[in-house]
Amino acid sequence: MTALTDLTIAGMKAGLAARDFSAVELTDAHLAAMEAARGLNAFIVETPDIARAQAAAADAALARGDARPLAGIPLGIKDLFCTEGVQTTAGSKILQGFIPQYESTVSGKLLADGAVMLGKLNMDEFAMGSSNETSAYGRVISPWKAGDSNRELVPGGSSGGSASAVAARIAAGATGTDTGGSIRQPAAFVGISGIKPTYGRCSRWGVVAFASSLDQAGPMARSVADCALMLTSMCGYDAKDSTSLNVPVPDFAAGLTGDMRGRRIGIPREYRLDGMDPTIIALWEQGIAWMKDAGAEIVEVSLPHTKYALPAYYIIAPAEASSNLARYDGVRYGLRVTPPGGNLADMYSATRAAGFGTEVKRRIMIGTYVLSAGFYDAYYTQAQKVRTLIARDFERAWEQCDLLLTPTAPSAAFAFGDKADPLEMYLNDVFTVPSSLAGLPAMSVPAGLSADGLPLGLQIIGRPLDEAGVLDAGLAIERAAGFTARPGR
Amino acid sequence: MSVDEPTVRKIARLARIGIADDDVAPLAGELSAILGWIEQLGEVDTAGVAPMTAVIPNHLAWRVDQVTDGDVQAKVLANAPDATSGFFAVPKVIE
Amino acid sequence: MKPWTVKGATGDWEIVVGLEVHAQVTAQSKLFSGAATTFGAEPNSQVSLVDAAMPGMLPVLNGECVRQAVRTGLALGAQINKWSRFDRKNYFYADLPQGYQISQLYHPIVGEGELAIETEDGARTVVGIERIHLEQDAGKSVHDLHPTMSYVDLNRSGCALMEIVSKPDIRSPAEAGAYVAALRQLLRYVGSCDGNMDEGSMRADVNVSVRRAGEPFGTRTETKNVNSVRFIMQTVEVEAKRQVGVIEGGGSIVQETRLFDPGSGTTRSMRSKEDAHDYRYFPDPDLLPVEFDDAFVGDCLASLPELPVAKRARYESVLGLSPYLSAVLTAEKDTAAWFEALLAATGKPEAEIALRAANWVSSDLFGALKRLGLDITASPVSPAAGAELLALQADGTLSGPLAKQVFEIMLETGEAPAAIVEARGLKQVTDTGAIDAAIAAIIAANADKVAQYKGGKEALFGFFVGQTMKAMAGKANPAAVNERLKAALA
């Protein structure tokens, strides 16, 4: 029999329903895996007692016959989601010891649907990073290794703990958040699936804010169907989030067909970059071929403002972050550092100097700069205008096609320290940022391996609210790719 | 755009982030590089383009004016580094 | 009229004043959270996790605050912006939990309007309104409870404020006072702010500059959070004089934030914020634009009561009251409401009864309330009872002095006037037989005075009236007494 931790969520549901194993057994298997894989540093906080209690409750519900859709499914929760009574740090020292007195809407919906929380997943500090090197709680390590090399690889970021835990079979699935690619890029790096829904589908209430106009929660799991299951639970209108969309949420899992016949797949010409890794190009072409085979029509489209997406993003996201992170001042929660004899202003500076890591400080500085007197219009206003143009590019593309197919990242996972220059790191988000700026649903699906055996992902981008279409295309790729590779540890 | 050291200090002060003297010069270099790269946005002709206000078309919902929250002093103060007699305590503020 | 000036050593200086009035919007809950807004609660008890800016908390707009801002704008005849937006004003302060205040810089909900004012000397002018925007109030820091610590209470944090910004149209301390008084009156009429300045529901930032006649505006200072009409007038005056002193002393005015110290009656510079206020405003990405349609504006307009200026004009033109009485009765919405209820209760045509009613309210009722230390809303005498009293006077049942007597009993016992008259036999006597008898006795007993009167000392007539009234125990009809006395002494 397959190890319990190798099952997909769909498989676990079937096994639980058939009484092949209990939710407590399933959870215990994952807790054991979590313990065995502590070297990955995927969790900041492990919550075995909570997990077992929830699993027992799930068993009771299963026995009564009133189990919710995710009853007994062991999940990891990214540490950006506030969890009532369980430390939430957003990967930052400034929130060390912070115990929320509330549960985020999204994690609350998953728990209400019967999910089991294994613990809080490590991440780049305040979700700022693409490699998980910025966490104050130590970097997360990818369970993958390149070829014969022994170098430790990044799991991607910022949802690196989520990616690593799911890929290493510690969690059946995990929540992620995506501001400029933080679900999709790590999913691609570790060979799992992840979807960022349309902006406004998942409530941001109780999710520690990075960049409010971009942040979206989404699921990460080992199959497209599992993502669909989790997404159905996570989405929904929330009156507590003014940017939440008041639209019905379909049952994404039930509607999943993978049928591509009659769908038009756009291939954006501007995503073919100068000097692009040939392996990535080959993978992309393979994806196009699979789509054709599945009955889709391939259309070349143009998204002319693509090259400006990254610079626009690196104005808007830091600007919003500089303001969102002003609340971490040592007054009401979290770290406080008061220099001897210091006044309030001294306390602010010392607290924030000690509490924030280098990358977070850098982005706060950029954000503060671009919003400061005399620069606001040239930077922020211009970036928001460019954002309008980027969204317009997509709207024009939708006149010609239903979905877009692109690579998820320009390379496979890299080793720690390989991208020491912040700018080089930022460029890693080149394919994921444009759809974030336009608020579009987008997912990454594992599609192949690099020459040295590392996972590579393809990205599907859809129209606003067309998560179902994105998931169908994801399923088509999943079926065609037959991705079965798994990490060594 | 080249960011000089006084600007770095000014920005750090606005952001209330203490920075060590040794960190000012490297930070000036990093910020200059990033802002220099960002400046390519200036090439884009945005005449007549409205800045984005809502990512996905949406309408701001209004709350009904009712008291539905508050009266949770214990929760509000639960994580306070220093709370006294129901207040948050901070080093003296001088106006 | 000659402008108000500061007499400097080198000549006269005009002043230019603009006021930013912060008025707390009347609402049950806060601008972006469901926490209560009542004054004086236990510290941090009227605070939601949103108000405390816990991580991941998000603002949700209170529709009532939008409605109240629009109603206020309409009452000021102002431009209503059907599309407005909230911006973040970023700065650090202990009682500003988010590290930013949600406000409206770029697209305020209300644009230009105007407010007519009248100073105590009767001079009238119009002050332009620049804009009204909605914003969050900050919390409160208490500095005197501990030697080295300040204590922060967030109860006020997030309460809705309207910032009502005037144009720099004010030219004297008296105009500044009149402007704030007129604005307060209007807000209370509209019901969008209770105007309680001692509870901090209304306070003003006072912008003052000085210039020589005909010169362009000088550099202004902003004195923050002045919380009474008197202090606002004082701030304008002392700050103008201070500026003149500085300039005439060869100095120049620095654009800065100042504080008014009521103790010394002076302003002082706030320990300078070295960052010169770089607030880094940008649209709040947690909120969408505030949008509404003409129907909403129409509903807001329909919900407005008759406003003070219109009411006062009507009292003069329709009710025939003097400008003074009209002003007194319309000064407060509650007074006007009481007066109008009184008119209605009389069942008489308004114009017929208005003057007597107005005189009675402004003298008898106001006097009594002042003596009792009561607000008109707490008057022990109802408008209906007042109307009854007026009616008893009108039909001759009560003389003026008797009416006063009955009114005192009403205040004390709460009984109805007719019942008092009945029970205590306070009815006025118009029976000329009884009056004639009393007069005959007085004439008989005062032959000397009768002779003097008839000899031309007419002032003695009052003596005879007094004696007659006394003999009648105050219950005689004064008109009848006059008439019969004149006849008897002829």
- The predicted model scores a pTM of 0.92
Instruction: Say if the Cβ atoms of B76 and C288 lie within 8 Å.
Output: no
Instruction: Say if the Cβ atoms of C94 and A372 lie within 8 Å.
Output: no
Helix A9-17 vs helix A23-36: angle between axes, to the nearest 10 degrees? 140
Look at residue B94 in the predicted model and tell me its pLDDT.
Answer: 67
Instruction: Say if the Cβ atoms of C44 and B73 lie within 8 Å.
Output: yes
* Total beta-carbon pairs less than 8 A apart between chain A and chain B: 166
High-pLDDT (> 70) share of chain C, %: 98
A205 touches chain C (CB under 8 A): yes
Band (C205; pLDDT cuts 50, 70, 90): very high
C142 touches chain A (CB under 8 A): no
pLDDT tens digits along A116-149 = 999 999 999 999 999 999 999 999 999 999 998 9
Facing A369 at nearest CB: one of B31, B39, B42: B31
pLDDT tens digits along A154-190 = 999 999 999 999 999 999 999 999 999 999 999 999 9
**What CA–CA distance (Å, rounded) separates A45 from A87?**
7
**What CA–CA distance (Å, rounded) separates C109 from C130?**
12
Residues of C within 8 A of A323 (CB-CB) are: 88, 90, 99-100, 280, 282
Instruction: Say if the Cβ atoms of B16 and A331 lie within 8 Å.
Output: no
**What CA–CA distance (Å, rounded) separates B26 from A134?**
18
Strand C149-153 relative to strand C140-142, pairing: antiparallel
Look at residue B2 in the predicted model and tell me its pLDDT.
Answer: 83
Mean pLDDT, chain C, rounded, equals 93
**What CA–CA distance (Å, rounded) separates A460 from A483?**
17
Is A313 within 8 Å of A437 (Cβ atoms)? yes
Closest CA to A27 of A63, A59, A2, A1: A59
Question: Which residues, 6+ apart, have CB-to-CB distance to B88 below 8 Å?
Answer: A331, A332, B77, B80, B82, C44, C94, C151, C152, C154
Look at residue C274 in the predicted model and tell me its pLDDT.
Answer: 47
**What CA–CA distance (Å, rounded) separates C241 from C235?**
10
AA identity, residue A121: L
Residues of B within 8 A of A101 (CB-CB) are: 72, 75, 78-79
pLDDT tens digits along B1-47 = 689 999 999 999 999 999 999 999 999 999 999 999 999 999 999 99
Chains that touch A (3 or more CB pairs under 8 A): B, C
B37 touches chain A (CB under 8 A): yes
> What's the average model confidence in pLDDT over C14-40?
96
| A484 burial type by CB count under 10 A (0-12 exposed, 13-18 middle, 19+ buried) | exposed
Query: C304-337 burial, b for 16+ CB within 10 Å, e for fewer?
Result: eeebbbebbeebbeebebeeebbbbbbebbebbe
Instruction: Say if the Cβ atoms of B81 and A330 lie within 8 Å.
Output: yes
Taking a contact as any Cβ pair under 8 Å apart, which residues of chain A between 314 and 343 contact chain B? Answer: 314-315, 322, 326, 329-336, 338, 342-343
Look at residue C273 in the predicted model and tell me its pLDDT.
Answer: 52
Instruction: Say if the Cβ atoms of C57 and A205 lie within 8 Å.
Output: yes
> What's the average model confidence in pLDDT over C41-45?
95
AA identity, residue C483: E
Interface test with A, best of C271, C286, C290 (most A CBs within 10 A): C286
Is A47 within 8 Å of A118 (Cβ atoms)? yes
Question: Which residues, 6+ apart, have CB-to-CB distance to B26 below 8 Å?
Answer: none
Band (A419; pLDDT cuts 50, 70, 90): confident
SS3 string, chain C, reads CCCCEEEECCEEEEEEEEEEEEEECCCCECCCCCCECCCCCCCCCCCCCCCCCCCCCCCCCEHHHHHHHHHHHHHCCCCECCEECCEEEECCCCCCCCCEEEECCCCCCECCEEEEEECCCCCEEEEEEEEEEEEECCCEEECCCCCCEEEEECCCCCCEEEEEEECCCECCHHHHHHHHHHHHHHHHHHCCCCCCHHHCCEEEEEEEEEECCCCCCCCCEEEEEECCHHHHHHHHHHHHHHHHHHHHCCCCCCCCEEEEECCCCEEEECCCCCCCCCCCCEECCCCCCEECCHHHHHHHHHCCCCCHHHHHHHHHHCCCCCHHHHHHHHCCHHHHHHHHHHHHHHCCCHHHHHHHHHHHHHHHHHHHHHHHCCCHHHCCCCHHHHHHHHHHHHCCCCCHHHHHHHHHHHHHHCCCHHHHHHHHCCCCECCHHHHHHHHHHHHHHCHHHHHHHHCCCHHHHHHHHHHHHHHCCCCECHHHHHHHHHHHHC
Look at residue C485 in the predicted model and tell me its pLDDT.
Answer: 86
Instruction: Say if the Cβ atoms of B60 and C51 lie within 8 Å.
Output: no
Q: Return the DSSP state at B50.
A: P
Ramachandran area for residue C6 (φ above 0: left; ψ -120 to 50: alpha; else beta): beta
H or E element at residue A458:
strand A455-462
Residue A449 in tokens: 């391996």
Facing B16 at nearest CB: one of C27, C92, C151: C92
Q: What are phi and psi of C455, to 5 degrees?
A: -80, 5
Instruction: Say if the Cβ atoms of A353 and B90 lie within 8 Å.
Output: no
pLDDT tens digits along C152-196 = 999 999 999 999 999 999 999 999 999 999 999 999 999 999 999
Instruction: Say if the Cβ atoms of B8 and A365 lie within 8 Å.
Output: yes
Helix A23-36 vs helix A48-64: angle between axes, to the nearest 10 degrees? 160
Residues of C within 8 A of B77 (CB-CB) are: 44
Distance from CA of A46 to the nearest CA of B (A): 21
Q: What are phi and psi of A311, to 5 degrees?
A: -60, -35
Question: Which residues, 6+ apart, have CB-to-CB distance to A179 below 8 Å?
Answer: A127, A158, A210, A211, A214, A215, A216, A317, A436
DSSP 3-state of A114: coil
CA nearest to B91 within chain C = C149
Residue C485 in tokens: 């006395």
Chains that touch B (3 or more CB pairs under 8 A): A, C
Placement of tokens 């209770």 in the chain = C194
Taking a contact as any Cβ pair under 8 Å apart, which residues of chain C between 425 and 454 contact chain B? Answer: none
Residue C29 in tokens: 């809950």
Instruction: Say if the Cβ atoms of B10 and C275 lie within 8 Å.
Output: yes
Q: Which residue(s) pair with C290 in the sheet?
A: C84
Mean pLDDT, chain A, rounded, equals 97
Whether the per-residue pLDDT at B95 is higher than 70: the answer is: no
Concerning whether A145 is annotated as a catalytic residue, the answer is: no
Taking a contact as any Cβ pair under 8 Å apart, which residues of chain A between 467 and 486 contact chain B? Answer: none
Q: Which of A104, A130, A162, A182 is catalytic?
A: A182
Q: What are phi and psi of A440, to 5 degrees?
A: -85, 150
Residue C292 half-sphere exposure, CB side, CA atoms within 13 Å? 21
**What CA–CA distance (Å, rounded) separates A354 from A328?**
11
Torsion of CA A407, A412, A413, A416, to 10 degrees: -120
Question: Which residues, 6+ apart, have CB-to-CB distance to C123 below 8 Å?
Answer: C1
pLDDT tens digits along C403-439 = 898 999 999 998 899 888 888 877 777 777 888 888 8
Helix C323-330 vs helix C350-360: angle between axes, to the nearest 10 degrees? 70
A239 touches chain B (CB under 8 A): yes
Look at residue C486 in the predicted model and tell me its pLDDT.
Answer: 86
Instruction: Say if the Cβ atoms of B86 and C48 lie within 8 Å.
Output: no
Instruction: Say if the Cβ atoms of A362 and B30 lie within 8 Å.
Output: yes
Distance from CA of B2 to the nearest CA of A (A): 12
A60 touches chain C (CB under 8 A): no
C51 touches chain B (CB under 8 A): yes
Distance from chain centroid for Cα C117: 13
Query: C403-441 burial, b for 16+ CB within 10 Å, e for fewer?
Result: bebbbebbbeeebbbbebbeeeebebbbebeebeebbee
DSSP 3-state of B49: coil
B34 touches chain A (CB under 8 A): yes
Q: Which of A13, A78, A196, A419 is catalytic?
A: A78
Look at residue A291 in the predicted model and tell me its pLDDT.
Answer: 98
C105 touches chain A (CB under 8 A): no
Residue A184 in tokens: 């999709």
Residue C413 in tokens: 């016992």
Look at residue C1 in the predicted model and tell me its pLDDT.
Answer: 57
Q: In 10 A of CB A3, how many CB atoms?
A: 9
**What CA–CA distance (Å, rounded) separates C98 from C281?**
14
Q: Which of A158, A162, A193, A436 is catalytic?
A: A158
B24 touches chain A (CB under 8 A): no
CA nearest to A463 within chain B = B56
Instruction: Say if the Cβ atoms of A101 and B7 lie within 8 Å.
Output: no
End-to-end CA distance of chain A: 20
Look at residue B1 in the predicted model and tell me its pLDDT.
Answer: 61
pLDDT tens digits along C77-135 = 999 999 999 999 999 999 999 999 999 999 999 999 999 999 988 899 999 999 999 99
pLDDT tens digits along A235-245 = 999 999 999 99
Residue C246 in tokens: 């500085």
Placement of tokens 């960190």 in the chain = B23
Instruction: Say if the Cβ atoms of C49 and A101 lie within 8 Å.
Output: yes
**What CA–CA distance (Å, rounded) separates A333 from A80?**
16
Concerning whether A419 is annotated as a catalytic residue, the answer is: no
pLDDT tens digits along C359-384 = 999 999 999 999 999 999 999 999 99
Is A21 within 8 Å of A49 (Cβ atoms)? no
Interface test with C, best of A107, A175, A242 (most C CBs within 10 A): A242
| C3 burial type by CB count under 10 A (0-12 exposed, 13-18 middle, 19+ buried) | exposed
B60 touches chain A (CB under 8 A): yes
Concerning whether A196 is annotated as a catalytic residue, the answer is: no
Look at residue C419 in the predicted model and tell me its pLDDT.
Answer: 87
pLDDT tens digits along C441-478 = 888 888 898 888 888 888 888 888 888 888 887 777 77
CA nearest to B45 within chain A = A386
Look at residue C483 in the predicted model and tell me its pLDDT.
Answer: 83
Query: A235-261 burial, b for 16+ CB within 10 Å, e for fewer?
Result: bbebebbbbbbebebeebbeebebebe
Look at residue C422 in the predicted model and tell me its pLDDT.
Answer: 81
